[in-house]
Amino acid sequence: MTEWSLPVLLSALHDDIERRLERARKAFNHPSVKGDASERVWRDLLESYLPKRYQVATAHVVDSAGAFSNQIDVVIFDRQYSPFVFHYEGQVIVPAESVYAAFEAKQSMSGGLIEYAQNKIASVRKLKRTSLPVPTIDGLRPAKEPQHIFGGLLTFESDWKPAFGNPFSAAMVASDSAGRLDIGCCAAHGAFWINESGEYVVPQSGKAATAFLLELIARLQGSATVPMIDVRAYAEWLAK
């Protein structure tokens, strides 16, 4: 009889992610190809383990006013209650109302990359999001306030030694609150996230990818469902 071990399973999940990221770094010389491979590793992780109500893609985000975000490496968005996602010539465009989280994914963490990720996340959070009253068997429920969009950074390693010392803490102070990074993972060194006191914590589990995944799922659970999108607000563009 096979004897299962939960600690072994959780450790193996992290080990697989770290090995794949390290392999992508060593196997590909071209920066774009290396970056694409790293993004694929993180998307595979989330696609495999997040509940099916969530979908994961590299995408642009659009709002009903016609504004677009930067391209985001890893977008987690709703497909259970969001009625449309655009696919055009290999590009994915999702409505702002459907977005739960946005991540920048690169090989190595640095001050410049953190600032770059903050700007990318801010380009999503600044988009307009509609919200309609929700019809139920008991009548209309008030329109939901759009939930906080989680933002983060996913890398294999860090340019700093130690990875989470003073340079990390200084870089994580966003110049614009819209760019705040809530959660992330540097697979070779640790996961990190912001706590209720507004401080960044780095759990000492030694299995960063697994710790990141479980914390992300917990935060998504607490975020509940995206608001009911006003599709007619997007339809107004048909007359322009």
Per-residue pLDDT of the chain (240 residues; tens, 9 = 90+): 568 888 888 888 888 888 888 877 666 665 665 667 788 899 999 999 999 889 999 999 999 999 999 999 999 999 877 777 888 888 999 999 999 999 999 989 999 999 999 999 999 999 999 999 988 888 888 988 999 999 999 999 999 999 999 999 999 986 778 999 999 999 999 999 999 998 999 987 779 999 999 999 999 999 888 888 999 999 998 877
What count of other Cβ atoms lies within 10 Å of the Cβ of residue 232? 10
Is 104 labeled as catalytic in the residue annotation?
Answer: yes
Residue 129: inside a domain: yes
Q: Which of 78, 97, 104, 215 is catalytic?
A: 104
Q: What is the pTM of this model?
A: 0.91
- Total of domains in the chain: 1
Residue 11: inside a domain: no
E-only strand ranges, the chain:
54-62, 72-78, 86-88, 91-95, 99-105, 108-109, 134-136, 139-141, 150-155, 157-158, 183-186, 190-194, 200-201
Q: Which of 106, 182, 207, 215 is catalytic?
A: 106
Residue 4: inside a domain: no
Is 73 labeled as catalytic in the residue annotation?
Answer: yes
Q: Which of 18, 63, 73, 215 is catalytic?
A: 73
The pLDDT value recorded for residue 3 is 81
Residue 93: inside a domain: yes
Going by C-beta distance under 8 Å and a sequence separation of 6 or more, which residues neighbour residue 197?
Answer: none
3-state secondary structure (DSSP) of residue 113: helix
Residue 209: which domain range? 18-230
